[in-house]
Amino acid sequence: MTDRLERSHLYVPASNWSMIEKAARSAADAVVLDLEDAVSVEEKASGRINVIRAVRELDFGGRLRVYRINGLDTPFAYRDLVDVLEAAGDRIDLVMLPKASAARDVQFVETLLLQIEAAQVLTRPVGIEAQIETAMGVLNAAEIAGASPRLEALIFGSGDFAASAGMPLENIGERGAYDAGYPGDRWHHAMQSVVLAARAHGLRCLDGPLANLRAPDDLVQAARSARGLGFSGKQCIHPAQLGAVNAAFSPSEQDVVQAQAVVAALQEAKQTGRGAVSLNGRMVDAANIRMAQETLNRHRLVLDRETS
pLDDT per residue over 93-122, tens digit each? Answer: 999 999 999 999 999 999 999 999 999 999
pLDDT for residue 268: 72
Question: CA-to-CA distance for 271 and 273, rounded, in angstroms?
Answer: 6
CA separation for the pair 114, 125 (Å, rounded): 8
The predicted-structure confidence for 41-93, as pLDDT tens digits, reads as follows 999 999 999 999 999 999 999 999 999 999 999 999 999 999 999 999 999 99
Q: Tell me the C-alpha distance between 168 and 155, whole Å.
A: 21
Q: Is residue 3 assigned to a domain?
A: no
Banded model confidence at residue 1, pLDDT cuts 50, 70, 90: very low
Residue 264 sits in the same domain as residue 146: no
Predicted confidence (pLDDT) per residue in 172-223, tens digit: 877 766 777 788 888 999 999 999 999 999 999 999 999 999 899 999 999 9
Q: Which domain holds residue 265?
A: 253-306
Instruction: Say yes or no: 112 and 226 in one domain.
Output: yes
Taking the C-alpha atoms of residue 199 and residue 281, their distance in angstroms, rounded to an integer, is 31
pLDDT digits (tens, 9 = 90+) for 152-178: 999 999 999 999 999 988 778 777 667
211: CATH: 3.20.20.60
Confidence of residue 279 (pLDDT cuts 50, 70, 90): confident
Q: Are residues 170 and 292 in the same domain?
A: no
> Does the annotation flag 68 for ligand binding?
yes
Q: Are residues 129 and 260 in the same domain?
A: no
> Are residues 243 and 258 located together in one domain of the fold?
no
User: Measuring CA to CA, which residue among 201, 88, 94 is closest to residue 141?
Assistant: 201
Give the residue-averaged pLDDT of 2-6.
83
Please indicate if the annotation marks 104 as binding a ligand: no
Residue 208 sits in the same domain as residue 282: no
Q: Are 96 and 155 in contact (CB under 8 A)?
A: yes
Which pLDDT tens digit goes with each residue over 210-249? 999 989 999 999 999 999 999 999 999 999 999 999 999 9
pLDDT class of 30 with cuts at 50, 70, 90: very high
Count of domains forming the chain: 2
Q: Return the exposure string of 63-88: e unless at least 16 CB atoms fall within 10 Å of the residue's CB, then b.
A: bbbbbbbbbbebebbebbbebbbebb
Domain match, 18 and 60 both: yes
Question: Is 43 assigned to a binding site?
Answer: no
Q: How far apart are CA 209 and CA 172, in angstroms?
A: 7
Is residue 26 pLDDT above 60, yes or no? yes
How confident is the model at residue 275, as a pLDDT? 64
Beta strands in the chain (DSSP E): 8-13, 30-34, 64-68, 94-97, 127-132, 151-156, 204-207, 233-236, 277-279, 282-284
What pLDDT is recorded for position 3? 78
> Between the CA of residue 102 and those of 7, 40, 99, 123, 172, what are the distances in Å?
26, 26, 9, 28, 23
Task: Give the mean pLDDT of 124-144.
Answer: 97
Average pLDDT over residues 251-277: 82
Q: Where in 208-254 does DSSP place strands (E)?
A: 233-236
**Domain-located, residue 130:** yes
pLDDT at res. 276: 65
